[in-house]
Amino acid sequence: AGLLDVTDGQIFINEQNVTWYEPAQRGIGMVFQSYALYPQMTVKGNLSFGLKNAGLPKEEIEKRVKHASEILQIESLLERKPAALSGGQRQRVAIGRALVRDVEVFLFDEPLSNLDAKLRNELRVEIKRLHQKLDNTMIYVTHDQIEAMTLADRIAVMRDGLILQLDDPKTIYNAPVNKYVAGFIGSPGINFLKGTILHNDKPIFKLQGGWCESPDLSNYKFQETIKAETQVWLGIRPESVAVGGEAKNMPVNFSLEVEVIEPMGADTLVWSEIGGQEFRFMVDGNTIVNVGDRVTVGFDPAHASIFDFDNEERL
């Protein structure tokens, strides 16, 4: 965005070095969490203000404002002032201000954070449609992993200023590079089971706190040869856990007691524990499950993620 000085390295946008360019010269259309609209101006005035300052001809300004308002479906709002608009309408106008600049790159910084859940979902779809229509590069900053998964072609998961993983959403979800990424992506969150890898003729996972039957991890694709007695975290997502008759056909299966149930409509999230460690799984919303029931669950290690206990990197 150009709002902070560069301390190291260079920034290239569209193969052009913009490291020392002023923000306005970088060719980025910016949309922020706060709408940043001029309250005394109409929607049309807000859309055209930057273009007038840039000295564009009146005809070009009219053309761009018309084009942006049609794309965002705000033609009927052009003569209104921001105070007369809803939160969603104001955010559309804020997006329009970036759109009229006719730039190659858009930066969206938490653009939906001020909106309620229903409006957030609606505008998320509109932003996706906008991207499909314009086919511009859009950098979208968010703490909401659902926004990241649904909008992105590629996701950069960051922590303390470092990019931990840059991949397509499916790879981020199925093959997270470390425990942090695995826990950050996915709702409900992934289960982490603490244990040790044992070796006989095949790798076996021994759960800390005991397990009635140690699961065979032969289906799991280790990235390197694992030494015996390696302490690990085994991660399995609640939606990857099979239940009942289907569980009995899984390479790993065991019995749990239901402790808490959370009906979520189409699905029900079930909370339990194994070996003193928390374990969650999903069942169909129409399945009758009661607290205290014993349920057989299972999973395929091919759908698990295993991380080193100390450095938390994927094994």
Count CB neighbours of 16 within 10 A: 11
- Please give the average per-residue pLDDT across 257-267, as a whole number: 95
Q: Say yes or no to pLDDT of 212 above 60.
A: no
Q: What's the CATH number where 298 sits?
A: 2.40.50.140
Helix/strand/coil for 25: helix
Percent of the chain with pLDDT over 90: 59
How far is it between the farthest Cα atoms of the chain? Answer: 78
Flag whether 180 is in a domain: no
Q: How far is CA 173 from CA 141, 169, 255, in A?
A: 18, 6, 26
What average pLDDT does this structure show over 145-150?
92
- Residues spanned by the domain of 88: 12-153
User: Where does the pLDDT of residue 252 fall: very low under 50, low under 70, confident under 90, or very high at 90 and above?
Assistant: confident
Q: Write down which residue in 136, 153, 170 finishes a domain.
A: 153
Rounded Cα distance, 16 and 14, in Å: 5
Number of domains in the chain: 2
Whichever domain contains 54, its CATH number is 3.40.50.300
CA distance 239 to 232: 21
Please state the separation of Cα 189 from the chain's center in Å: 12
**49: confidence class by pLDDT, cuts 50, 70, 90:** very high
Confidence of residue 234 (pLDDT cuts 50, 70, 90): very high
Say yes or no: 288 and 206 in one domain: yes
Element at 120 (helix H, strand E): helix 117-134
What are the angstrom distances between the C-alpha of 171 and each of 14, 156, 164, 265? 26, 12, 13, 28
Among residues 155, 36, 150, 31, which one has the least CA distance to residue 100? 31
Of 102, 103, 101, 123, give the one whose Cα is nearest residue 112: 123
| Antiparallel, parallel or unpaired: β 105-109 and 16-17 | unpaired
Structure tokens at 107: 């930066």
Residue 161 falls inside a structural domain: no
112 burial type by CB count under 10 A (0-12 exposed, 13-18 middle, 19+ buried) = buried
Angle separating helix axes 117-134 and 87-99, nearest 10 degrees: 20
pLDDT of residue 278 exceeding 90:
yes
Q: Assess whether 94 and 214 both reside in one domain.
A: no
Given a cut of 70, whether residue 214 has pLDDT beyond it is: no
262's enclosing H/E stretch is: strand 260-263
pLDDT over 70 percentage in the chain: 97
Decide if 4 is inside a domain: no
Q: Under DSSP, is residue 198 helix (H, G, I), strand (E, B) or coil?
A: strand
Q: Is 190 found in the same domain as 141?
A: no
Task: Reply yes or no on whether the pLDDT at 294 is more than 70.
Answer: yes
d(CA 62, CA 75): 12
pLDDT value of residue 211: 61
pLDDT at 297 > cutoff 70: yes
**Mean pLDDT across 250-267:** 92
Strand 203-207 and strand 191-199: pairing? Answer: antiparallel
- Same domain assignment for residues 42 and 118: yes
Query: Do residues 132 and 220 share a domain?
Result: no
Note whether 191 and 83 are same-domain residues.
no
- Lowest average pLDDT, out of 121-125, 199-203, 210-214, goes to 210-214
DSSP-assigned letter for residue 114? T
